[in-house]
Chains A and B, each alone.
Chain A
Amino acid sequence: MWGIDVKNVTKKVKTSDGKSELIFENFNLQVKESEVVGIFGPNGCGKTTLLNMIAGIVKPDLGEILIFGEKPGRKSIAYIFQDYRNSLFPWLTVKDNILFPLSLKKMKRKAIQEKLDCMLDTSNIPFDLDKYPYQLSGGQQQYISILRGLISDPIAMLIDEPFSALDYSNSLWLMEKMAEILKSMSIPAIIVAHDLDHLMCTAERICFLSEKPTSVVLEKLIDSDNPKRQCRLDNSLFKEAKQELTNLYSRKGLAYGWG
């Protein structure tokens, strides 16, 4: 069984001038049970719409999306948004933000505390949990939103451009954390990013998307046992692989008008 299975999905959306635009036509994407897939594509090709459909907040017009054989929205999915400022709850402390998904369910306080302790044991959180999100750096805030996604034991993870609102040092820090988390989790994950470096560090397979109507034009496997995955940007193997991808990207760029 596929972890995430997007089958023959067709989706039209309304643009701001009232016209409807075809974004996906018979789009397919399969993610293995514990695979991390990176998505790379031009602006406006519907990457976020794809994630929204998998999360179940947007319905496809045709086709089917299954997560471990079930329709989206039934089981908990971690969705990390690009805009951490507007996805965290600024009126809650860091701790309450992380525990928010659990507080929605009828869960005993003791069980919630156990979950938190368990998370604190496994992930080494380098800041005070009683602070408010706005008192932390951007990278730390995004890290909180990842932890918030993970606390409810999700069956899949969707990550939408987690680094693009961060400065360089913050995104480097978060990239390392993210690689750690994704390595330790064994759930299917889709990560959308604008920067190949970020995908190279975190994903096992990168899918290149075309312009609308969107399809996967190229796939690139990143050998996950390789030292490349250790997130060293100066690693020679990493450099080679990136060069190869950059070449492909610029060639595709001409063909698809990405440049």
Chain B
Amino acid sequence: MGGVEIRKSILSFALLIFGWYAVASLHLVNPMFLPTPFETIQEGARLIAEKKIFIDLIYSFRRVVYGVSLALIMGIPVGLGLGYYEKVYQYFECILDFFRSIPPILTFPLAMLIFGTGEESRIAVIFFGCVTIVILNSAAGVGNSPKLRVNAAKIMGASWYQIFSRVVIFDALPQIFVGIRVSLSMGVIIGIVTEMLVGDKYGLGSRAVNAQIAYDTPGLFFTIIIVGLIGLIINKLLILLENRVIHWKKAA
């Protein structure tokens, strides 16, 4: 993102906040439901000063990172393998689509039965929701890459392992990155919903629910904004990393 784009983004955020301020301070909406930006920031400052928001952040973030990491560790090799052996993939395609069609959060009750209400069940649901995304994207990355490079490597005498580790993985990298980005967003969504469903003591999802129960709309607004910002930052950082790693795609 260049300087001009950053300036444009800041301007649009400033306009959004100003609009929010205008609507709230003119009492166009019941102040019960829409606090002013100042009230929200004040509440935010309190939460930051008391370090409460950080504990929630760490808990939520840890669940997402564990769940998504597990999905990547398992999903990328499986996806690459399935993409490479197209015939095997044809057997699994329908099953994968079936699992992908199940809203991940629907498996949360089952996960709680198996793992209890602690961390494990939440991580398991995040894993379940993300692993199909990672598998499908990695497989598509291999399937859609030009076969010519693999052929060229074969003619040069590359072994099966060399073709895989030195050609196929690199060709699939752009699509693997798409899988990582989508599954991280999915992981944040699932993680927060599990926190809202069965309250843990900590987590941004439970904070939002608790704020609602206490009619603490500034706190609720602040939590929502924090979650939005986290998603935005994760996405931007990943794009930055992607442009670094997959330098050749940017030029093409």
Contact = CB atoms under 8 A, between A and B. Distances in A.
B146 A86 contact: yes
A226 B148 CA distance: 37
A79 B167 contact: no
A135 interface: yes
Chain B contact surface mostly: helix
A44 interface: no
A90 interface: yes
Contacts, number: 50
A15 to B, nearest CB: 18
Contact of A57 (B151, B158, B173): B151
Contact of A100 (B154, B156, B159, B246): B156
Contact of A55 (B153, B155, B246): B155
A155 to B, nearest CB: 13
Contact of B149 (A55, A87, A134): A87
A91 B154 contact: no
Given A90-B248, A134-B248, A104 B148 contact: no
A127 to B, nearest CB: 16
Interface in A172-219: none
Interface residues of B, number: 21
A28 to B, nearest CB: 23
A86 B248 contact: no
Contacts of A87: 148-149, 152
Interface of A: 55-57, 76-77, 79, 81, 83, 86-87, 89-91, 100-101, 104-105, 132-135, 152
Given A91-B173, A100-B156, A104-B159, 13 more contacts: A55-B155, A56-B155, A77-B155, A86-B148, A87-B149, A87-B152, A91-B248, A100-B153, A132-B247, A132-B248, A132-B251, A133-B248, A134-B252
